[in-house]
Each structure stands twice: as structure tokens, then as C-alpha cells.
Structure 1
Amino acid sequence: MSPSEDNVPTKFSCEAPETALLPPIEQAGKLSLSWSFLLSPLLGAYLPSFLARMFGFRASYTTQDDAIWRGHDLTFDADNFRTGLVLRTIDHGTMRRVLQNCKARQATFTGVFNHIIARSLSAALGASSSANGFASQIVVDMRHLFGGIFNDDSMTNCVTAYNETVASQELTQQSDWATNPSSPFWSAARKTSAGLADTAGTLHNQPIGLLQYLNAFRPWTLEQIGKKRETSYEISNLVVFDPKGSEQPEPSGENSIAIEKTIFSQPANAAGALLNFNLVSTKGGPLVMTVTWQLGVLDLREGPESAFVQEVCENIKAQLQELAPVGV
């Protein structure tokens, strides 16, 4: 409803808050880089490929193995760019038992989930696929490394990434993968968990630190279109959403409001991973997983993409159930 002329003030002012904008992370802390870490992607990008291979320089910090599942090369058509989405929910009871199992085997859930995805993708792709592994990228929160400049309420882009290559054959050969704490699956999950902890514990040699030496973001991003995709999938885990905080009382009374489920998603990234796995749970509630991707880039041998991603999600749910035996 439009306001009438009678109730519109002739003079109106709005005072903006004086809170200063938070600094970008390269100003908030020292993202130090070793010479080898800094020069490797630079020389890998500009040297002839045979020289780059000879001296071990790589334009990317992800694997360049041709047998990694990458789908089609990076492509972008503004008029036809579409995002696919599949949503799944894992109940609280299952997640509670999975987390207990992870703790007992000295692994984090994100580390475990990384290899659950790899197993699920391997099963969905089938034996006809030539891919023998996956390049994973896991988003890591760094706000705790900046001496209190950022906190949990800060609206800031304060993340880096942990990259890892997952060999699919190593994870699918044992039938007791879920119950045997010495299985390749659990060994790989512990390795990923340790790598995530190392990445989250330092500002030194972080991939995000390379961006402070990039003067023109848009031209560099556009140059990536047409190149080989670097990552098979990305994991963004927001962990537990607890709006009241752990020390606040639970809401009560007929006028109280409780959040039972939280959903987190993001659009497809033309220059990013093939699949984005977005995770968030609510305190006392379920885990919600959304999987997004750019339509038309998965390069499947048969079947529609949506059916493939739904199969991957069902595989993930089934394997989480295997990791959550009743009685744990």
C-alpha cells in the first residue's frame, strides 16, 4: 500500500551507524607466503608446459591428473546459465550416532564426509567411468586466527581452502569399511581431519593469500573459462546453527519461537567445482544437505544429471546409516 501525501514527512533523515567496516583479511593479518609457495603457480602459469613439468611448477594447487573426474571444461553462457539443486535431510538421531562414531575413531565429521562423497560418486559413476579419483576442496574458516578482529557474528569473507586428492579404489575395496577402524576409509578420514586442522591453524602459505598479489580479478577470472576444471567437488560445512547460544535457556511458552531446521545453499560456480555440497545442522535438529551444480557440465556417459546427483545423495544417506549403527 502506497503512503498518502498526508503521512509522508516533508523532511526525513536516516543516521547511518558509525561502526567501521571490517578490514579485508590481507589487512587484518599477515598472510605470509614462502617463495616456493608464491612462485610455483606463477611460473607454472607462464612457463611452457614442458619446462613447468620439468621443474615441478604447477599453475594450480590441485592435482593435474587427467584421470580425476572433472566433467566438462569451464564454460559460461550468461543467457543459459542454470543451477541444479538436490536437497536431502539426515535426521538428528542418525547424525548423533555418526558423530559419536567419528569421535571414537579420532576423525572429524567433515573429514569423514569428504570420503563418503568419494565413495558415493564412485558408485554412481560406475565401472564404465574412466575416473580413478576426485579432487576435493573443503572450505576452512580462518576468523579465529586474526586476534579477535573477527568473531562469530562478523559478516566477512574469512575463509581459505584445503585441497586433497581422493583415490576412489582405495575406499571401495573393503566390505568392512565402516566398522573396521583400520580400514583405508578411516585412515583416509583421519588424514583429511589432520589436514583440515593444520590448515585452520595457520595464516602461512594459505592459497587465499595469493589473491593479494592479483591486481585485476575480473580479467583473471574470465581467463579461466575454457580451461580444465580444477576440483571435482567442494564441501562447505557451517556445522551447527544455534541462534540462542549454548549458554542461553531453551525457548518456552506459547509465544516462543524455535528454529527446527536450517537450510544453506549457494548457486553454481562457473569457475569452481563440479558439485557443491552445502551442509548445516540445527542444534537438536537434522543435518540438511544441498547439492548444487552448473547444469550441463557433469559430462555423464548416460542419464540425466539430476538423476545422477539424486543417486549420489541417496548413496550418501545410506553410507551415513552404515556409520550410525543402533546402540552406538
Structure 2
Amino acid sequence: MPDPTTFEKLRPCGRLETHSTARHHLGLYKNVGFSAQYKVSSNTQLSLENHVYGALRHVISHHPNLSAITLNEDQSYPNAYFARIPAINLRTCVEFLQRSTPFPGDGENDEELDQILVQQHSRDFKQDLGSKPFWRVFIVTSPVDARRFTATWVWHHALADGISGFIFHDSFLAGLNLLKVGDSTDPVVKSPNTALLPPLEELHPMPISWPFFLRAILGSILPSLFARRPAKLWTGKPVPVDVTAQSEARCQTLVFSKAITTKLAQASRRERTSVTATLQCLLTASLFSLLPAAECECLSVEGPMSVRRFLDVKDDQMTDAVAQYDFLHKRIVNDAQAGKILQYFSWDTAREVKSVIAAEAAKGGDDNFAGLLKYVPDMHGYLLDKVGKPRTPSVKISNVGVWQNAQRQEEDQSETKWSVERMVFSQSPNLVTNGIAVSVVTGADGNAVVSFCWVEAAVGDEFMKKVIDGVREGVEELVKESKS
């Protein structure tokens, strides 16, 4: 077993990265996942294993964060740091699996992938520290379709944000298509010497205004006065004292066909809002339909937002750069004839959500929650202070958008061309904050995929199944009612 303390020290983990290392060390948050289904247009001369190893060699050579691991995770800034693993043996972090059912069709759920995600989002990267990277890839094939496979990349959140999942698969796809007979497919890859990008606080000044600062500080010191919890706010069960006792992730994806996804986007544009805002309002409508008004009059939602466009980084560079918006949904009841879910849905609220997101984006990364982390001297204590208390927010929803290479992929029809189809974005639930984690992506197949992750210590499994069914019903009702 190698001694990781002898590895090349790259740089201290930044404040946002230390937030991730502390969560990982305490077992409060395991990882992020991004899956993509790949298809090749004709037979290839290389085995799938060689294709995967060759493509990953390409990815590793272009992205130095994949050779980095975090050390001193039990400590706060600036003692937690990134070190470079000298070489990566892909056999330690790539696993090949075979599914028992065919790949799903347009709009069909993938229960086998859901089961893989359940297992993956319950596993961290603490085992065999220093002998393998802080990421892994799962390749899932089908015995009845040799031209397709699903690649799931799972990674430590300190290495990269959700948008970086697109960058990984862009690079992996390029590696597949560039690979030629005779190229190296050796599973042992020497780590590149490229420097890591600086942390977010060195890429962006993240200025904090006095009103933003004072609200945060006073809310922390005197929450009963300056951060009063809204009456009848539902956030699931309180954080248990033994917080990691029921930490196994539950995951279920909801897949909307290309036709329904297109109609949902058209309806959202027609109503001057966005798909993210519409889905958020349908999700809260589903929750309101299940929760009695005597117990729940409002729901709080947080949504991470990328601030990459405000940074001096290239489009193909992975980083961890996010801001966050917050929205408090209040129970509304429309005409009972609107349908079970749409009774609690409002286009006006969807427009308000879009406006809040736009206002946060207009800040350009200023007054960012990440900028407040420099005032947290003990990140582990900050996180553990939430144990035994009510959760907040009710839901965290993250929409990374639409895969942008879809059109270019359609235009390039070269021989033996690998292409991407469905995508799935998912992540572990956070054991001390939101009870429900929702992640959204639309792949090249045009299917919007909504991934729900939770733990039973926060919300019950049967309740979540009803929530997910309600979101499906709400989307279907909405596109049916909308004019074509």
C-alpha cells in the first residue's frame, strides 16, 4: 500500500473544496454521478475494454484533477490539500457489468441503472487511500446489443462540480473517436504534470456586500430573530443524532420522452419561464398534494448554479464553481378541476422562480454563499452542528441543462463514429441538510431525466415513490393542457 503523504503536494483545498472534504470525511455526502449511454455506428476492431481504457487515458491526460486525491480530510482550511497520485491503474477504478434487460427506449425508465446508482451513491473514496483515484467508472453492457454501453462516472465533489460531468463525457467521447488500432490501451496511466486550476476564491474575488454579510452573521448568531424558520415549513424528518446510521442512498430516475420534453420546454417558453422553474414548481406541487395543510404551508428549495462563465477558465476545463439561489414556495390551491397535481401549480410562481434565478445569475458570482465559507474556521464543527436539528431546505434541485454536443454529433457521421444518447445526472443525498436531492439533465436523445436521491432517515420510501409519481403526473397533465 503506497504512503499518500509522500505524493506530490499540489495545493491546499479551497474553501468550497474543504466543505466537500469535510462532508466526505464525516460520511455526510459521498459523491456525484454522471451517466451517458454510448452507441457506435459500425463494428470496431478493438475490444470494448480497450476502447474504454484508451478513452480514459485521453481523459486523464487532459484533466489533471483526475490524478488528484484529497488528504487531511479530517482538518479544515488550509490543512486539507490535494496530492497527485503518481499513476492510475484503471483496473482499480473501472468495472464492467452486464445488464439483464435491454437498454431502455424513448421515455422508459432504467431500473437497472437506478440500482447501480443506489450502490454507488452509498460508497465513498476512503478505502485503499493512495492506491486509486477519487473517481470510478462503471461500464454497463447488454448481451443483446453489442453496439451500446452505459458509462457512469462517479467522483468526489471536491474534484469537480456537476457541469464538469458534461466535460468528462465530452472528453471520453473524443477519446473513443480518436482511438486507433496501435494506440496504447495500457490500463496503467502515468499521471500528467499539469497544474490544478486554482480554487474558486482565487478565480473570482467573490465580494460580499454588507447587507448580505450581516444577514448571514446575524442569522447565525440570533436565528430566532434574523433567520426565523417559517411556520409549517416541511423539510422531512429532523437530522438524527446518529446521522450515518441510515445513510444508504435511495435513487430513482424519472424519464420523459423526447416528445414530452419538447412540449414541456415549449410550454415553459410560452409562459415566459424555464424548464428548471417549471419542474421545481411541479415538484413542490406534488409535495403539497401529499402533505396535509395543517402540517405544511411552505417548502424551501435551494438550487446550485454554475458561475463558470464569470471565471477565466476554458470551456473544457473541470472546476468546482457554484453559486446558489433560494426560493420559498407557499401553498396555493387552484380550481379543483385542474387535476390532482396542477391544483397546487402556478405559472406565476414558475415565473417568480425564473426571476429569482436570473437575479442570482446577474450578481456574477458576488454575494455567493461560497464567499461566506472563509468565516467558518471549523468546517467539521459547522456541519456537525446540524445534527439533531430540523433540516433545511426541503429540496435541493440541480439542473445542468442540455448536452450541447448533440447537434455537432448529428452533423458528424464519420465511419465507426461513437455518439452519446441518454444522460443521467445524480448525486448522493446530504445527510444533514435537504431531505431530497433532485438532479436533472437532458441528453442527446432529447429525454429529460430527473434523478431523485434521498435517505430513509429523512423521508420514507413509499412517500418518495408517491412524490415521483406526482411529478410524472404533473408534467403529463401540463403538456396535455398546453396548446401545441
Q: Given residue 32 of structure 1, which amino acid in structure 2 is its aligned partner? A: P
In the alignment, the residues of structure 1 paired with residue 190 and residue 251 of structure 2 have an alpha-carbon distance, to the nearest angstrom, of 41
For residue 122 of structure 1, report the CA deviation from its aligned partner.
1.2
Does 2:451 correspond to 1:307?
no
2:237 equivalent in structure 1: 72
Q: Deviations over 1:83-132 (max 9, x none)?
A: 112221111100101111111111011111111111111112245x5111
Relative to structure 1, the CA distance from residue 215 to residue 235 in structure 2 (aligned partners, 3 Å threshold; closer, same or farther) is same
Does 2:198 correspond to 1:43?
no
1:112 equivalent in structure 2: 278
Residue from 137, 155, 161 that aligns with 2:324: 161
Q: Deviations over 1:208-239 (max 9, x none)?
A: 21112222211211112122211100101111
1:235 equivalent in structure 2: 397
Say whether the 8 Å CA contact 1:160–1:208 is kept in structure 2. yes
Q: Secondary structure at the match of 2:421?
A: coil
TM-score, structure 2 normalization = 0.56
Relative to structure 1, the CA distance from residue 260 to residue 293 in structure 2 (aligned partners, 3 Å threshold; closer, same or farther) is same
Q: Deviations over 1:153-200 (max 9, x none)?
A: 3222111111111012x2x3235769xxxx971111111101101111
Unaligned segments of structure 2, at least 5 residues: 1-187
Say whether the 8 Å CA contact 1:177–1:185 is kept in structure 2. no
Residue from 367, 380, 385 that aligns with 1:218: 380
In the alignment, the residues of structure 2 paired with residue 65 and residue 173 of structure 1 have an alpha-carbon distance, to the nearest angstrom, of 22
Q: Secondary structure at the match of 1:324?
A: helix
In the alignment, the residues of structure 1 paired with residue 238 and residue 292 of structure 2 have an alpha-carbon distance, to the nearest angstrom, of 21
Q: Given residue 273 of structure 1, which amino acid in structure 2 is its aligned partner? A: N
Say whether the 8 Å CA contact 1:277–1:290 is kept in structure 2. yes
Relative to structure 1, the CA distance from residue 23 to residue 174 in structure 2 (aligned partners, 3 Å threshold; closer, same or farther) is farther
1:6 equivalent in structure 2: none
1:136 equivalent in structure 2: 301
Relative to structure 1, the CA distance from residue 191 to residue 267 in structure 2 (aligned partners, 3 Å threshold; closer, same or farther) is same
Say whether the 8 Å CA contact 2:299–2:328 is kept in structure 1. yes
Say whether the 8 Å CA contact 2:302–2:325 is kept in structure 1. yes
Does 2:247 correspond to 1:81?
yes
In the alignment, the residues of structure 1 paired with residue 315 and residue 406 of structure 2 have an alpha-carbon distance, to the nearest angstrom, of 11
Relative to structure 1, the CA distance from residue 98 to residue 249 in structure 2 (aligned partners, 3 Å threshold; closer, same or farther) is closer
In the alignment, the residues of structure 2 paired with residue 226 and residue 277 of structure 1 have an alpha-carbon distance, to the nearest angstrom, of 23
In the alignment, the residues of structure 2 paired with residue 234 and residue 134 of structure 1 have an alpha-carbon distance, to the nearest angstrom, of 11
1:264 equivalent in structure 2: 425
- Bigger mean CA deviation after superposition, 155-164 or 78-87: 78-87
Q: Of Structure 1 and Structure 2, which has the larger fraction of its residues in strand?
A: 2
In the alignment, the residues of structure 2 paired with residue 282 and residue 184 of structure 1 have an alpha-carbon distance, to the nearest angstrom, of 26
Ranked by relative contact order (alpha carbons within 8 Å, sequence separation 6 or more), the top structure is 1
Q: Deviations over 1:277-326 (max 9, x none)?
A: 1111112331111111121222xxxxxx2222111111111111122238
Q: Secondary structure at the match of 2:206?
A: coil
Say whether the 8 Å CA contact 1:251–1:257 is kept in structure 2. no
Q: Secondary structure at the match of 1:150?
A: coil
In the alignment, the residues of structure 2 paired with residue 176 and residue 198 of structure 1 have an alpha-carbon distance, to the nearest angstrom, of 34
Q: Given residue 312 of structure 1, which amino acid in structure 2 is its aligned partner? A: V
Q: Deviations over 1:233-284 (max 9, x none)?
A: 0101111124x36445445367332322111111111122111111111123
In the alignment, the residues of structure 2 paired with residue 27 and residue 253 of structure 1 have an alpha-carbon distance, to the nearest angstrom, of 42
In the alignment, the residues of structure 2 paired with residue 174 and residue 189 of structure 1 have an alpha-carbon distance, to the nearest angstrom, of 18
Relative to structure 1, the CA distance from residue 18 to residue 245 in structure 2 (aligned partners, 3 Å threshold; closer, same or farther) is farther
For residue 150 of structure 1, report the CA deviation from its aligned partner.
2.7
Q: What is the percentage of aligned positions where both structures have the same residue?
A: 22
In the alignment, the residues of structure 1 paired with residue 231 and residue 323 of structure 2 have an alpha-carbon distance, to the nearest angstrom, of 25
TM-score, structure 1 normalization = 0.80
2:108 equivalent in structure 1: none
Relative to structure 1, the CA distance from residue 151 to residue 311 in structure 2 (aligned partners, 3 Å threshold; closer, same or farther) is farther
RMSD between aligned residues: 2.5
In the alignment, the residues of structure 1 paired with residue 463 and residue 415 of structure 2 have an alpha-carbon distance, to the nearest angstrom, of 44
For residue 74 of structure 1, report the CA deviation from its aligned partner.
1.8
Q: Given residue 209 of structure 1, which amino acid in structure 2 is its aligned partner? A: G
In the alignment, the residues of structure 2 paired with residue 327 and residue 34 of structure 1 have an alpha-carbon distance, to the nearest angstrom, of 44
Relative to structure 1, the CA distance from residue 327 to residue 164 in structure 2 (aligned partners, 3 Å threshold; closer, same or farther) is closer
Q: Secondary structure at the match of 2:401?
A: strand
Q: Secondary structure at the match of 1:22?
A: coil
Does 2:475 correspond to 1:320?
yes
In the alignment, the residues of structure 2 paired with residue 46 and residue 228 of structure 1 have an alpha-carbon distance, to the nearest angstrom, of 17
Say whether the 8 Å CA contact 2:422–2:445 is kept in structure 1. no
Unaligned segments of structure 1, at least 5 residues: 1-12, 299-304
Q: Given residue 93 of structure 1, which amino acid in structure 2 is its aligned partner? A: A
Say whether the 8 Å CA contact 1:71–1:274 is kept in structure 2. yes
